[in-house]
Chain A
Amino acid sequence: MQGPDGMESSDAALVARVLHGEVNAYGALVSRYRDKYARYAVHMLGNREDAEEALQDAFTRAYRSLARCEDPERFGAWLFRILVNRCRTSGARRVRRSQTFVHDETALLNASQEHPAEQTMWREEIERALGELSADQREAFLLKYVEELGYDEMAEITGVGVSALKMRVMRACDRLRILLREVHSA
């Protein structure tokens, strides 16, 4: 969404407009962060349905608490923190519902025409391996390597200490290497 000067509106400007009663300005924030954060939710939860639900919840909760966003310029980071928490809750519910991790929907979601079949298989193997990790390890790995956050940012988002996060990431990497080597040596 563009501002009155024709320039792309900043997060802070959009937040201010929403707080001032322009509810449609929130749509611009949704469009801005939808795809970016869908990636994290899909990889974290392993299926599209849960991921979209978590993402919708995150956007809705962020809207409801928008006046408490302390730094509107960093709305995206604040929203992401909410999403990480929603994924944790959703993940916990899913584990109670079923102990099996759904891989195929994630693979199908991202499979596109330009990817050959082998590439799609590789992606499926990665998703399957990701699903073998504990939720804590998967979360730490995705935040560190896929979302490319620093450990301090990760600690802020997750509430977990830096040393514990480093350990989780290291173990996740080791486990993924083993799982994927097994696949390719089979």
Chain B
Amino acid sequence: MPDWGRTTLELIVQELQRPVRVDESFDRRVMVRVRRLYAERRPRGAAGWMGAAVNLTRRPAYAAALAAGVVAVVTVGMLRSSHPGAAVGAESPIPVQFVLVAPEARSVAVVGDFNNWGLGDTALVAENHNGVWSVSAPVKAGVHRYAFLVNGKQWVADPTAPRAASDDFGQPSSALVVEGTVE
């Protein structure tokens, strides 16, 4: 029986503040949805907004080829874009988003063989979102090398991507595979 010596409001609040426990299967159900979204956001041939060149981890053969310094041929026939049903030509660049978590950085840019390593002001300048720097760029299908240029002078390889076998310019760089699929 409620203790009527206290105010009704206090009793109501006390009761409503009791914890409500949700079955642990709830976590699994949420994560199923989240992983589905994650998969949808990483279209074939391009890394999603969560990281650059992550698709290499799903293509260990490519990673092995790069580690051995072998240039893999990955484009065959037509490419499939991120939009279902919209086929693009093999030469069509595919949007790739590069992300680097660097809360202390003052600036971040992306340089790679696809933009002539930033020569002639071609570096991709990333935008800062609370320490998460990101920039998108169209990249042709194939195997590429790239790196982040932090504060205009420090080269940083992508910590989430395999290291390229031979570092260009004597600096660390990462491997990116923009893959295509046969129609």
Partner-B contacts on A (CB < 8 A): 16, 18-21, 23-24, 26-27, 30-31, 34-35, 38-39, 42-43, 52, 55-56, 59-60, 63-64, 67-72, 109-110, 118, 122-123, 126, 129-130, 142, 145-146, 173, 176-177, 180-181, 184
Interface majority SS on B: helix, strand, loop or mixed? mixed
Partner-A contacts on B (CB < 8 A): 1-2, 4, 8-9, 11-13, 15-22, 26-27, 29-31, 33-35, 37-38, 48-51, 54, 99, 101, 103, 129-132, 134, 160
B29–A56 touching, CB < 8 Å: yes
Given contacts A21-B99, A63-B37, 18 further A-B contacts (CB under 8 A): A16-B101, A19-B101, A21-B48, A21-B160, A27-B31, A31-B27, A34-B27, A39-B20, A43-B16, A60-B34, A64-B37, A67-B129, A69-B130, A123-B15, A126-B15, A146-B17, A177-B9, A180-B8
A-B contacts, 27 of them at CB < 8 A, read A16-B101, A18-B50, A20-B99, A20-B132, A21-B54, A21-B160, A26-B31, A35-B21, A38-B22, A39-B18, A39-B19, A39-B20, A55-B22, A56-B26, A56-B29, A56-B33, A59-B30, A59-B34, A67-B129, A118-B1, A122-B2, A126-B16, A145-B9, A145-B13, A146-B17, A177-B9, A180-B8
How far is it, in angstroms, between the C-alpha of A56 and the C-alpha of B101 when the chains are bound? 27
- How close is B16's CB to chain A, nearest CB, in angstroms? 5
- B38 partner residues in chain A, CB cutoff 8 A: 23
**Do A35 and B30 form a contact, CB below 8 Å, given A18-B50, A146-B13, A173-B9?**
no
- How close is B15's CB to chain A, nearest CB, in angstroms? 5
- B99 partner residues in chain A, CB cutoff 8 A: 19-21
How far is it, in angstroms, between the C-alpha of A42 and the C-alpha of B16 when the chains are bound? 10
Shortest Cβ distance from B57 into A: residue: A21
**Do A16 and B26 form a contact, CB below 8 Å, given A38-B20, A64-B37?**
no
A27–B160 touching, CB < 8 Å: no
**Do A21 and B51 form a contact, CB below 8 Å, given A26-B34, A59-B30, A67-B134?**
yes
- How close is A137's CB to chain B, nearest CB, in angstroms? 13
**Do A19 and B50 form a contact, CB below 8 Å, given A30-B27, A71-B130?**
yes
- A72 partner residues in chain B, CB cutoff 8 A: 130
- B26 partner residues in chain A, CB cutoff 8 A: 30, 34, 52, 55-56
